[in-house]
Structure 1
């Protein structure tokens, strides 16, 4: 018998789940638009060569390829040693590469500083497991054309505001800068060619701790004196006094010698966020070992945190070099992505305030014209309405309607009028 399950790592959504997802997406869209971002749409496929141009990091290895049309047996055999020859398109694995291509295509029609929204599914050939899917929705905002700290501040404020609007107040953002990381590694004595592998290990600091990081670096065979210097820095004595986000907090977390310009850039973001959120504590935490896995980041990087969970709810960073791949000239760009699949599970599944969702339970002999007229009149009055024919046992039907978000029901006999309907709550 053929399977009736969706492909591994992909999901079906029942009506109640779909409605909940759409409510969360509506809040995200509304908040993003309120902050001056405009939504765009790009195709689900991009050219294979673009998706494998070395700008997507490890995600390129997870891209689904689309087989070329019209290949005969000889062409397939000829491509046996070069599988890329079998494909000319691929499913997008993120929304950043398509955005870079979109901007390069439509730059003449866009403002000099372009603020985009992209909310759409992406596909990765992940190993399916809890929390990891092969198809999932990303919610991205990006600012292209602004190299100043204003762009980062706008993204941070919009993202925190969106989290608040979803009922997840208390979020914070870990922040770092790839240029700070580069300066750290240079100062400790790691060579440029060692840097990618060293960053992979540093990214595990939260999981394996300082001793684990040092042991893994030693196992990588990188410069021993650099590993020793880095290990000493990780294990240095530290006081535990609280420092709010700012120059003092950043300097305390770093060794001497980091350029004032880099520290000033981060402080400027914090000042702008504080002003936007009415002063008080700034919901930013400087983390000198925040890495973010994408190789295209060139400056500021972020991760969104919430006290209710021990994993990030989103993140992003500055990728000034990517669009230049398509235009032949550098264009500053920075983006932030909310992890929709993680956030949707945290948001209360309440029906929209003020929505009337009604079920009309009718007898078999009620004329269709009367039913449709009643339904249309209630819809015109702002309600959501479902027709259900009466069954011997109403309980399962009403429970299902309640699970689908309906709030009240009324029984309908022949000759019933809207004013004569008596609605009873479903819960």
Structure 2
């Protein structure tokens, strides 16, 4: 028997029902974001190799797909690979996220954009992941970003828009975990970690959900044993609250979860965010402070977010403030903050609503019905706003009708020669 023909590892085909689910989710997300005043943009799927490897993408840069320059010979490829000199081979690469392209886009078009630019990007990205459940080499990201607003209003707008999108997708039980990078660095300094070790230490703290407090402390001992013990005490102090109802985003609750005097700027920022969002989120979405939230991207400079849902073992969204990225292209600082819904994880959690709008009708016709009559019937029904499909009659009608019902058709009609118009059709309900 021939081997099945599959798509490349880490990439997927989508059957009609799956595609319908995805398009429904995209429509909801896009509609909510537009209603909140964001404008959709589009960028190329490729960017310059140097830009994709400029240190803006964190660890994702290591997972980027590079595109060979034209005319590279097998001999040149082998020689460059042996020397590890990729830049002599590639001048372009597939985008691994939508943030790096956005910063380039803003730098290119800044003169044509408003002072505060609210962007929607919903598009596929590519990473050379090791394929596994929930991790793919091609996947869709759904991002909103605000560039040019330095104040807390940007974070407020992002959280309210994202929370409404999650609610309208039907994802009850979402928790938006919030932290501030300044709090993280303040905690590290309080525990005694030297500034030059902070990035290494945060990589370890970010593993807390996988290796637990004891595992984090053990790894941190390799950086500074005394500081590791003090960090362990902090983590043990907040662990019960994080495992329970979480820590409310209020000044008193945030201060109680942290050592006295740690990262006052970050505490004030999050307390103000919690106050601004009090009572503003839809039912089914909660806001919580998590002092252990790191987010892997090194470009975050302030507030960071991550969305948890009980139906997913991984986050279903995240983002944060990245004030330094745009300035890398413009030579001057430009404030920026973004929030991304993890589309591939979200789409697996939602259920499609009952079909609304135009009715979907299957015209089951005999083989001898003239094509002109079929076309005329279909044109008339489509003109009335219906979705119409022609299906040739089969011996096993039960199987045919079950299939078209599963594909979203709600009624059917038998078509025989001589039907003069759609009003003569006897439309019957299809069992769902």
Aligned counterparts, 1:23-102, within 5 A: 23-72=24-73, 75-76=76-77, 79-80=80-81, 81=83, 82-102=85-105
Partner residue in 2 for 1:266: 270
Pick from 295, 301, 305: which aligns with 1:302?
Answer: 305
Which runs of 5 or more structure 1 residues have no equivalent in the other structure?
none
Distance in 2 between residues matched to 1:258 and 1:365, nearest whole Å: 82
Are residues 364 and 115 of structure 1, via their aligned partners in 2, closer, same or farther at CA, if it must alter by over 3 Å? same
Pick from 102, 106, 126: which aligns with 1:123?
Answer: 126
The CA deviation at 1:20 is 1.3
Kept in 1: contact 2:172–2:284 (CA 8 A): no
Kept in 2: contact 1:410–1:421 (CA 8 A): yes
Are residues 296 and 15 of structure 1, via their aligned partners in 2, closer, same or farther at CA, if it must alter by over 3 Å? same
The CA deviation at 1:217 is 1.6
Distance in 1 between residues matched to 2:70 and 2:28, nearest whole Å: 41
Kept in 2: contact 1:244–1:282 (CA 8 A): no
Are residues 57 and 259 of structure 1, via their aligned partners in 2, closer, same or farther at CA, if it must alter by over 3 Å? closer
Kept in 2: contact 1:367–1:414 (CA 8 A): yes
RMSD (CA atoms)? 2.1
Aligned length: 424
Q: Deviations over 1:114-171 (max 9, x none)?
A: 0000000000000011111100000000000011111001000000000111112332
Is 2:350 the counterpart of 1:375? no
Is 2:204 the counterpart of 1:201? yes
The CA deviation at 1:207 is 2.3
Distance in 2 between residues matched to 1:311 and 1:397, nearest whole Å: 39
Pick from 415, 420, 424: which aligns with 2:424?
Answer: 420
Kept in 1: contact 2:191–2:227 (CA 8 A): yes
Q: Deviations over 1:351-372 (max 9, x none)?
A: 5323411100011111111111
> Any idea what SS the aligned residue of 2:323 has?
coil
Are residues 420 and 213 of structure 1, via their aligned partners in 2, closer, same or farther at CA, if it must alter by over 3 Å? same
> Any idea what SS the aligned residue of 2:390 has?
strand
Q: Deviations over 1:376-421 (max 9, x none)?
A: 1111111110001111212222222122211221111112221121
Distance in 2 between residues matched to 1:79 and 1:174, nearest whole Å: 44
Structure 1 window deviating more from structure 2 (73-82 vs 314-323): it is: 73-82
The CA deviation at 1:253 is 1.1
Which runs of 5 or more structure 2 residues have no equivalent in the other structure?
none
Are residues 127 and 143 of structure 1, via their aligned partners in 2, closer, same or farther at CA, if it must alter by over 3 Å? same
Distance in 2 between residues matched to 1:300 and 1:143, nearest whole Å: 13
Distance in 1 between residues matched to 2:64 and 2:383, nearest whole Å: 47
Partner residue in 2 for 1:157: 160
Runs of 4+ in 1 over 6 A off after TM superposition: 237-243
Are residues 236 and 315 of structure 1, via their aligned partners in 2, closer, same or farther at CA, if it must alter by over 3 Å? closer
Kept in 1: contact 2:176–2:285 (CA 8 A): no
Structure 1 window deviating more from structure 2 (234-243 vs 296-305): it is: 234-243
The CA deviation at 1:375 is 0.8
Distance in 2 between residues matched to 1:283 and 1:236, nearest whole Å: 22
Are residues 54 and 424 of structure 1, via their aligned partners in 2, closer, same or farther at CA, if it must alter by over 3 Å? same
Are residues 281 and 261 of structure 1, via their aligned partners in 2, closer, same or farther at CA, if it must alter by over 3 Å? farther
The CA deviation at 1:328 is 0.6
Partner residue in 1 for 2:334: 331
Distance in 1 between residues matched to 2:339 and 2:315, nearest whole Å: 13
The CA deviation at 1:3 is 5.9
The CA deviation at 1:237 is 8.8
Kept in 2: contact 1:319–1:334 (CA 8 A): yes
Are residues 285 and 229 of structure 1, via their aligned partners in 2, closer, same or farther at CA, if it must alter by over 3 Å? same
Kept in 2: contact 1:245–1:282 (CA 8 A): no
The CA deviation at 1:89 is 0.5
Kept in 2: contact 1:297–1:317 (CA 8 A): yes
The CA deviation at 1:234 is 2.6
Are residues 132 and 230 of structure 1, via their aligned partners in 2, closer, same or farther at CA, if it must alter by over 3 Å? same
> Any idea what SS the aligned residue of 1:79 has?
helix
